[in-house]
Amino acid sequence: MSDPQPPALKSRSFAVAVVIGLTLFSGVVHGFLDGRWENPTDLRAQGDLLGKLPSRCGDWVLVKSMPLDQGAADLLRCHGSEVRVYRNEVTDVLVNVAVFFGPRGPIAVHTPEVCYSSAGTKQTREKMVETIETPGGSHQLWSVQFRKDLETEPSLEVWYAWSDGDEFEAAANPRFWMVDNLYKIQVAGPVGLRSESYCQDFVKSFLPKLQPLMR
């Protein structure tokens, strides 16, 4: 019996099937990396726990809380977030802290190196891994410094890291973690002496208050 389909038609049909299959596969992979394939749990209630962060952490007292900028909120698609300013009662130094909880994809890819460098500042050194020991475990955060265009020395220091609910990690590629959602912390403050980092002092006081609110 003769083949009802000419060879050219069979080859074309196979090629179309391959293209469709690859398109579907790439869509699934992108959805996974972007954090869209997740269980329908009460993520908003989990994110709302961040609002229970205290107004005092050691020598640091809350000055003000701010809503997340709408543009950032649309970009990050957070289930919960807190943006605050704390002041040190001893040194009078102010630091800004932002904590986010949301889908792995958008939470993972936006880093200070990208955000601050597009806002009139320049990175002055490669990021470094900093270790903070707390009763809840050993945390690692990235630290990076910036200067304004007309400055010769760095004036801004930023510490940041991600967590899946346990210790924070200075991860290189948190987007590939096998979790649906991530926490991110980002602390920005003035550059102090290497032995007296204001961000370091704040993070050391802040993390023990934050960890119990992360599930």
Residues above pLDDT 90, as percent of the chain: 61
- Please report, for residues 1, 106, 128, 162, the alpha-carbon distance to residue 10 in angstroms, rounded to integers and kept in the order given: 17, 42, 56, 50
Task: Give buried/exposed letters for 16-52 (b at 16+ CB in 10 A, else e).
Answer: eeeeeeeeeeeeeeeebbbbeeeeeeebeebbebbee
C-alpha 98 chain-centroid distance: 9
Rounded to the nearest 5 degrees, what angle is found at the Cα of 93, between the Cα atoms of 199 and 210? 45
63-74: per-residue pLDDT in tens? 999 998 888 888
Q: Name residues whose C-beta falls within 8 Å of residue 37's C-beta, 6 or more positions apart in sequence.
A: 28, 31, 180
pTM of the model: 0.79
* Predicted pLDDT of residue 8: 55
Closest CA to 60 of 84, 39, 82: 84
* Predicted pLDDT of residue 95: 98
* 72-98: average pLDDT: 94
3-class DSSP state of 164: coil
* Predicted pLDDT of residue 205: 97
- For 150, the token pair is 């007309």
150-176: per-residue pLDDT in tens? 888 999 999 999 999 999 999 999 988
3-class DSSP state of 184: strand
Give the chain's mean pLDDT: 84
100-151: per-residue pLDDT in tens? 999 999 999 888 887 776 667 899 999 999 999 999 899 999 999 999 888 8
* Predicted pLDDT of residue 34: 45
- What is the C-alpha radius of gyration for the chain, rounded to an integer number of angstroms? 22
**What single letter denotes the amino acid at residue 46?**
Q
